[in-house]
Amino acid sequence: VSDLWRYPFLPDARKAVQGLELETLLNDPLYGEARALGLMRLETAVKDGRIVLETPADALAEKDHLHGFLISRLLLAVAGDASLTGLVAVAEGERTQHFLHREPGAELVRLARQLSVATTRANGGYTVNFVDYLRAAGSLREGKWKLVNRPLRDGHVRLSRRTLERLMREAVAQHLLTLPEPPEGIAKRFESEIEALLQVVRQRRERAVREMGKFDYGKAPPCLAQQLADLQGGINLPHPSRFFLTTFLAALGRDPEQIMELYATAPDFRESVTRYQVEHITGKSSGTEYDSPACDTLVSQGVCPGGNTLCREIRHPLQYYRVMAEREKPEAVRRKRIHLATGGGEAKFWTQLPLRFSGDVPQRSLTAALRSDAPSRVAVRVDHFRARREKRGDEFIISALARLVDDTVPTPLLTLSLTQWELALPLASAREAGVVVEVTLLPVKLGGAKRLHILAVG
C-alpha cells in the first residue's frame, strides 16, 4: 500500500483494495474509520474547496485512506450531482498536485504514465505526447495552454516540471469525473450525509445565480458572457479570466461583496481566498484599483472567445457594454445620434422619427410594407451589412448600415443608420449565416429615397 494512499485513483491502488465485500465496507465496525475518511474527503472538498485529511500514521491507516476514497466515489455516484462531482474532482486534482510536487523526477514520470499521460524526461525537462497533452489541457482556457504556444517536436510537447505537475492535476480531475455505477443499498445508508453535501452545493449555486440574475446579459460582450457561462457551468476560471471579470464588474460599479458571490459556483471557491483576491484587485485592500484589460490583452491571454461584428469596432469590453446601452439614452439623444450617423433630412423629420411601436404589427412582404405608413413585420435577407465608427461633432458613434431584400422587391433597400446594436448584431449574424430574419420596420423617405427604419429584429 505504501504511498498509494496519496494517489488512491491509480490502478495499483484499486488492486490493493480488491476483493472486499461492499456489505463489509459499508457496515463492518472495522471500516468505521474508512467510512469517516470517505465522508471527510467530500465534506472538506465541498466546504473548503480542498481535501484536508491527516497524514496516515501506519500501514493500517493508509489502507483506511484507500477504502475511504472508494467510499467517496460510491457516495458521489449515488448523489448523481455533476456540480458536486466536479467540485470534488477539482479538489482531488489539487491534492494530487501537492503530493506530486515532492516526488523525484522518475516517480513523476511513472505516475504520469499511470494517468495515461505518456511522459519522458528530456534535457532537464519533460516531454509529453501531444495527444495526451491536448486531452489533459483541454479544459485549461488560458492562452499559454494552447498547443501553438508550446514547443512541439516530433509529436511531443516540452514542459517544465511545474507545468507537468499542473497538467497531471488536470488529468486527475478529468479522470475523476467518471464515476462507478451506484451500488444498491448505499443511498439509504448515507441518505442524510448525501443530502447535507447537496445542500452546500445548492447554497453555493443559489448565491451565484442570485448575483448573476442582477446582470443585464443583453449588454454583455462575448468575453463576459463566456466567463459567466463558465462559472454557471461549474468551470474554474483561470487567473486572467478572474482578473478580467473582477475589474470589469468593479468598473460597472459592483462592490467586492457582490463580485465575490459570483465565484461561489467555481469548483475551487474558497471564500477567504476569493475575498482576498477580489478585494485586492478592486483596490479595497490594496489601495490600487486595477484597470479592466483591453481586448488585445484579453485576446493574447485566451480570455476573448472570439468577438462578434461589434467587437471589430471597439478596443475594450467596457466600450462594448456602453455601446449596447444605447437604448437607455433619452429618446431625443437617440434620435440625434441616428441623425448624426445617417446624415441628411430636415430637422422635423428627425424629431418626429418614432423609436417605438405598439400593438400587433401585421406581417407583410417588403413591397407591401413600403406602401404602408405604419410598421410591418417583414421576413428579409440581409444583402449587405457594414459597421462604421465615426467622429461626429464631439462624439464617436459606432453604427451599422444594412441593405435588406425579399423576393418581392427588385433591389435591396438601405436602412437608416442603426446605432442600437441589439438590432444591428442579429442582422450581421443573419448576413453571415445567409438566413432570413424577421424585422419590424417603418418605410421612411430621406433625401428623395425610400429608406427602412428598423424598430425591432427577431
Residues binding ligand SF4 (CB under 6 A): 221-223, 295, 298, 304, 307, 311, 317, 320
235 vs 310, beta carbon nearer ligand SF4: 310
Separation between Cα atoms, residue 457 and residue 112, nearest integer Å: 53
Query: Nearest distance from residue 429's CB to ligand SF4, in Å?
Result: 15
Query: Nearest distance from residue 239's CB to ligand SF4, in Å?
Result: 16
Query: Nearest distance from residue 323's CB to ligand SF4, in Å?
Result: 10
Residue 98 burial (CB count, 10 A): 14
Query: Nearest distance from residue 246's CB to ligand SF4, in Å?
Result: 15
Query: Nearest distance from residue 223's CB to ligand SF4, in Å?
Result: 3
Pairing state between β 413-414 and 395-405: antiparallel
CA triple 154-157-161, angle to 5 deg: 140
119 vs 309, beta carbon nearer ligand SF4: 309
46 vs 223, beta carbon nearer ligand SF4: 223
93 vs 307, beta carbon nearer ligand SF4: 307
Q: What are the two backbone dihedrals, phi and then psi, of residue 404, each rounded to the nearest 5 degrees?
A: -115, 150
245 vs 378, beta carbon nearer ligand SF4: 245
100 vs 298, beta carbon nearer ligand SF4: 298
8 A C-beta contact, residue 136 and residue 117 = yes
Query: Nearest distance from residue 424's CB to ligand SF4, in Å?
Result: 15
311 vs 338, beta carbon nearer ligand SF4: 311
8 A C-beta contact, residue 417 and residue 399 = yes
Show the cell assigned to 344: 441628411
| DSSP element (H, E) containing 137 | helix 130-137
Q: What are the two backbone dihedrals, phi and then psi, of residue 363, each rounded to the nearest 5 degrees?
A: -80, 130
8 A C-beta contact, residue 83 and residue 201 = yes
Give the closest residue to 132 by CA, choosing from 155, 160, 161: 155
223 vs 278, beta carbon nearer ligand SF4: 223
Separation between Cα atoms, residue 203 and residue 165, nearest integer Å: 32
Burial degree of 154 (CB within 10 A; 0-12, 13-18, 19+): exposed
Query: Nearest distance from residue 100's CB to ligand SF4, in Å?
Result: 34
Going by the DSSP 8-state scheme, the letter that residue 308 receives in this structure is -
How far is CA 251 from each of CA 292, 296, 381, rounded to the nearest angstrom? 7, 18, 38
Query: Nearest distance from residue 294's CB to ligand SF4, in Å?
Result: 8
Separation between Cα atoms, residue 299 and residue 310, nearest integer Å: 15
Query: Nearest distance from residue 303's CB to ligand SF4, in Å?
Result: 7
Give the closest residue to 224 by CA, choosing from 251, 203, 202: 251
221 vs 375, beta carbon nearer ligand SF4: 221
